[in-house]
Structure 1
Amino acid sequence: SREGEPWYRHVMGRVFNWIIRLVALRGINDTQCGFKALRRAVARDLFQRVRIYGDDAPIVRGAAVTAYDVELLFLAQRRGYAICEIPVKWRYGTETKVNPLRDSWRNLRDVLRVRINDLCGKYDVTSTPIEEVAPR
């Protein structure tokens, strides 16, 4: 549940999530919550494939909302990993440094880059997922 979230932030979030589902990820209700849990082997497998915020990416300075999690979840889906959403209680922080316009634009650009990277073959998703190679 979302506590204290201004209506306009809620609307922006729902619209953006619709765009994410249309462009990059099917079947995930909320990619931007920020809570992610992965097994170590899966994390290593996925993070080595990240391109937008990978090793060669420019450093992000200051508070910023990015689509790193969209790219990570996109790669997880493409690699065939199971993704499970677990509801959490989320409380809006009034002291947020997020700029809705600037960060929404950055996020949209990143989501489009995920799709473009995929279409251009920049993601190596063809090898066997680590879960099939190494037991838990």
Structure 2
Amino acid sequence: MTEALPGRLDDDGVRPVEVSDRARTAPERTPMGVYVSVRGWLECDGTQLGAVRRIVAAHEDEHYNGGWGMPRRHVNWTCYVFYGADIRESGLEWFAGQVGEMARIPASDEDGDLVRGLFLVSHEIDGTAEWQVRDGRLLVSPADGRHRYLDV
């Protein structure tokens, strides 16, 4: 995981992620490769959901973007946006670019709530990482051992 998303761990064992401009480019499709299982969700309000939809559309690749699931209509006050797909390691930075942009969506009302969420990213070789979307950033840390059952 460190090679795909470099950075330094802070005192809490969390790595803030800075994503390059390459993250805007659709991942290469190669015949063989290492795969990463990505599953998780974001929480936002209806206005922020519109921004999430625009970010997904801007990164359209006609393949991995098919992993996004969004509500057809707004139900109550929180919108949940889900992602689940097995993607090539080469697509991880591209995906992190989308999530990083989503993390930076500003609050849309006086409550000041930012987009927040959690993803588990299981790398075939490097193991599982936890991606936290909070405080306007994407933060990466090693996943808790309790999640190992998902990697069998």
Fold similarity call, TM over 0.5: no
**TM-score (norm. length: structure 1):** 0.28
Q: Return the structure number with greater strand share.
A: 2
Q: Return the structure number with greater helix share.
A: 1
Comparing both chains, which one has the higher relative contact order based on Cα–Cα distances under 8 Å and sequence gaps of 6 or more?
Answer: 1
